[in-house]
Amino acid sequence: MDLLSDIKNSACILLKPVTPFTLTAFVKLVSTTSDLSQQAHQVDTLRSDRDTLLQYVLDVNLKLQEYDQERNNFFARVLHDFRTPLTALHGYCGLLAGGKLGPINPVQKELLERMQYSTLRLMKLAAGAGGLLAQGRFERAPKCNASDIGESLEQALHDVYPFIQERRIEVDVDVQPAAGLLRFEAEQIQQVFVNLLENSCKFIPREGRIEIRGYSAYQTNGTGSENSTGCEHRAPNGYRVDINDSGPGVPAALAEKVFEQYASYMGADDRSGGGLGLAICKLIINAHRGAIWATPSQSGGRFSFFLPFKTAKSANSDGCADAPMEIEQAC
């Protein structure tokens, strides 16, 4: 009965006289036509299922975006409400530590200064987290002026001194003067130093060592890779800082991922630090049109960042720095 139905639905005509050869060819043609019809039906079914799945994925993606935006709005409100009492607490600690409300003994003074340092860290962390919530960018552009990067480092070392002292860490600093015009927001670059130094202090053993090197350099690209061979003779186009420590190195597979927001790999040598501190560093350096990176190593951690110089042509503009140069094939 199915064969008669297939013959009826087909557009083929069997002419007389019927021979075994023509009958066989006709049956094969009808069978092929039936298979093609079934395949076409299956294709239509698969296409319909695909469209349904795509629509479902699209709806889910839109819902996830809505939930993500609601989460960001919630955390933004929390951070805003969090800053006010934290600022007050920081001020009260300063008043007590400074003896403005009465005499205190040296032990009390040290504890109050530690409390003041911790509240300051939280305030800066809240500010950086707010920038990450704003789709990976700060709400405002950095206010850049001609600044001394050595002073920013000195202030950052002062901020992390309690941590360094507690773990008896040796710090070696060699920061050379910049060979060009360097413009940045001093407080933000200080925060970069603080985050990187805290990351080093967290992972190096007690009585470990941190080496900080700052020098003018020529970068062949804006991605933070090492200088290419043959470029050493080029005039510096920016300032580079290397922070080396005696802690575990960053694996090559995680060298870029450690700067991702909320990145944490939960390993014994996980140097992402929860991802937030290093993510804030990247956010700040990107706002200054610079580059930051971790150099993979099996022995010792190494984090570096690069800030481009302002050129004479654009020295009078309000921008932080010129954009890093693209890769030059000559190098």
First to last CA, the chain: 78
| pLDDT(327) > 70 | no
8-state DSSP, 181: B
Residue range 301-315: mean pLDDT, rounded: 81
- Rounded distance, CA 175 to CA 213, Å? 6
Residue 296 clears pLDDT 60, i.e. is over it: yes
Question: 245 has which bridge partners?
Answer: 210, 301
pLDDT tens profile 177-196: 998 899 998 888 988 999 89
- What's residue 248's pLDDT? 86
Place 216 in a pLDDT band, splitting at 50, 70 and 90: very high
Specify the pLDDT at position 174: 94
Q: Which fold has domain 146-314?
A: Heat Shock Protein 90 (3.30.565)
- Residue (of 174, 127, 170, 126) closest to 153 by Cα position: 174
Q: How confident is the model at residue 229 (pLDDT cuts 50, 70, 90)?
A: very low
324 SS3 class: coil
pLDDT (tens digit per residue) in 129-177: 666 566 555 556 778 888 899 999 998 998 888 888 888 999 999 999 9
Q: Phi then psi for 282, rounded to 5 degrees? A: -65, -40
Q: What is the CA radius of gyration of the chain?
A: 32
The percent of residues above 70 in pLDDT, for the chain, comes to 68
Query: pLDDT band at 11, cuts 50/70/90?
Result: very low
Structure tokens at 323: 């954009």
> What pLDDT is recorded for position 58?
87
pLDDT at residue 293 greater than cutoff 90 = yes
CA distance 144 to 142: 6
pLDDT digits (tens, 9 = 90+) for 74-105: 766 776 677 778 888 888 888 888 888 888 88
User: Per the structure block, which two tokens stand in for 311?
Assistant: 């050129």
Q: Assign a CATH topology to domain 58-133.
A: Helix Hairpins (1.10.287)
Distance of CA 49 to the CA centre of its chain: 38
301 forms beta bridges with 245
Task: Answer yes or no: are the C-beta atoms of 323 and 289 closer than 8 Å.
Answer: yes
Residue 324, pLDDT above cutoff 80? no
Residue 268: the pLDDT is 53
Distance CA 152, CA 179 (A): 17
Q: Hey, is 217 helix, strand or coil? A: strand
CA 77, chain centre distance (Å): 23
Determine the pLDDT at residue 113: 82
* pLDDT given for residue 329 in this prediction: 34
Q: Are the CB atoms for 171 and 213 separated by under 8 Å? A: no
Reply yes or no on whether the pLDDT at 38 is more than 80: no
Q: Which helix (H) or strand (E) holds 156?
A: helix 149-166
pLDDT, tens digit (0-9, with 9 covering 90-100), for 14-26: 555 656 666 676 6
Q: What is the predicted pLDDT for the residue at 135?
A: 52
Q: Tell me the average pLDDT of the chain.
A: 76
pTM (global) more than 0.75: no
Residue 247 host element (H or E): none
Query: 128 or 161: which carries more pLDDT confidence?
Result: 161
Element (H, E) at 204: none
Q: Is 25 helix (H, G, I), strand (E, B) or coil?
A: helix
Q: Where are the domains of the chain?
A: 2-46, 58-133, 146-314
Contact criterion met (CB below 8 Å) for 172 and 212:
yes
> What is the per-residue pLDDT for 244?
93
| Residue 117: φ, ψ to 5° | -65, -45
Of 219, 201, 216, nearest to 149 (Cα)?
216
